Amino acid sequence: MSRTSLLIISFSAIRSDARVLKQVQEFSRDYDVTTCGYGERPDGVVDHVRLPDDAAAWRYDKPSVVLRRFRRAYWTNPAVAAAWPLLDGRRFDVVLANDVDTVPIALRLAPAKGVHADLHEYAPKQKEDVLVWRLFLGPLMTWLVRRAVTRADSVTTVGQGIADEYRRVFGVDAGVVTNAAPYVEAAPGPVGDPIRLVHSGAGLRDRNILALVEAVEAASSRVTLDLYLTENDPTLIAELRERRSERVTLHPPVPYVELSATLNGYDVGIHALPPTSFNNRWALPNKLFDYVQARLGVLIGPSPEMAAIVERHGIGAVARGFAVADLTDAIDRMDAETVRRWKAASDGAAHELSSATQVAVWRRAIDALAAQPGSA
């Protein structure tokens, strides 16, 4: 008996896209998986449709967007225009479309058993803090949700707050699959003296990284901060290097396969993302789960999704706010015994907060579509 064919499409480099790679790894065991995205072929798939590196998914025809000719703006987008001729004529039983900008392609392919849309954020407010984006691309994203996502057979997204907004505004009933990291067999290390804070991720100014640095430098307690940052903003990275702080050390990023072992040498993962946009307010980022798998305590700002997990599992503390003074106060409230309890709690929650519990939501959705009778 032939296996069900599944197309996983994402306008990303799938081999390095942690969320999409989890989909590939989950379904390639039981489905004939074809991927469509940038970069090299992921392991385990039967075929890979590679998009040209210069076919930018973020570029739209300006006159079409300004004049609200959204259909033209979408289908002339370089990534869409490259993907459709490569996929047209292929037949799939199920399509798993990542983010709103791949859903119209999935629907046009008319897979025999259905389309599942996985939305990685709340698309209509993706960059609402940028005026030009809010005035022009925001309405395009809203159009894509109304015209395409609402026609998908099933939908998931990354957090409950975002799922609630899709339901409230568009009537889309989205399940939740968090960006949880795979389970790592590890144990909490001893608490250091000084207590060792760590932050890993994108080197972007809006991630409030300078506030983390200033908070550590202002703390009266014995703490250090190590940063593992990608060079998204070279001016920020240069500014961090020039500070020459005795307490703060800047490192190059480490490959994801090495991240958990690297983080395990620290005590507390810290992240304080100001709610400058809807998606930032409801963020539930990979790094929170990476810190748990590394068996660290967690110190965060009062972001509701993250705070709910931290408080429910007792794995850390939530600062009163996102300002330097709020973070410094939270840092100064830590002591070795408290951090030891946090690390033990992360160890106890590592299975529950791993991706194994999350990919099961995708599994149920895709299996349900696969069980449908095929179209004529």
Q: Under a CB-based contact definition with an 8 Å cutoff, are residues 179 and 19 in contact?
A: yes
Cα atoms found within 13 Å of the Cα of residue 56, Cβ hemisphere only: 4
Give the containing element (helix H, strand E) for 140. helix 138-147
What mean pLDDT comes out for the span 302-314?
97
For the stretch 21-77, pLDDT in tens is 999 999 999 999 999 999 999 999 999 999 999 999 999 999 999 999 999 999 999
> Tokens in use for 258?
């090495």
| pTM score | 0.90
Mean pLDDT of the chain: 95
Residue range 5-179+355-370 in CATH 3.40.50.2000: yes
Q: How many CA atoms lie within 13 A of 162 on its CB side?
A: 28
Nearest to 369 by CA among 127, 100, 154: 154
Nearest to 103 by CA among 80, 124, 126: 80
CATH 2.40.50.100 corresponds to the domain 195-349: no
Q: Do domains 5-179+355-370 and 195-349 have the same CATH topology?
A: yes
Query: pLDDT tens for residues 109-164?
Result: 999 999 999 999 999 998 888 888 899 999 999 999 999 999 999 999 999 999 99
* Domain regions of the chain by residue span: 5-179+355-370, 195-349
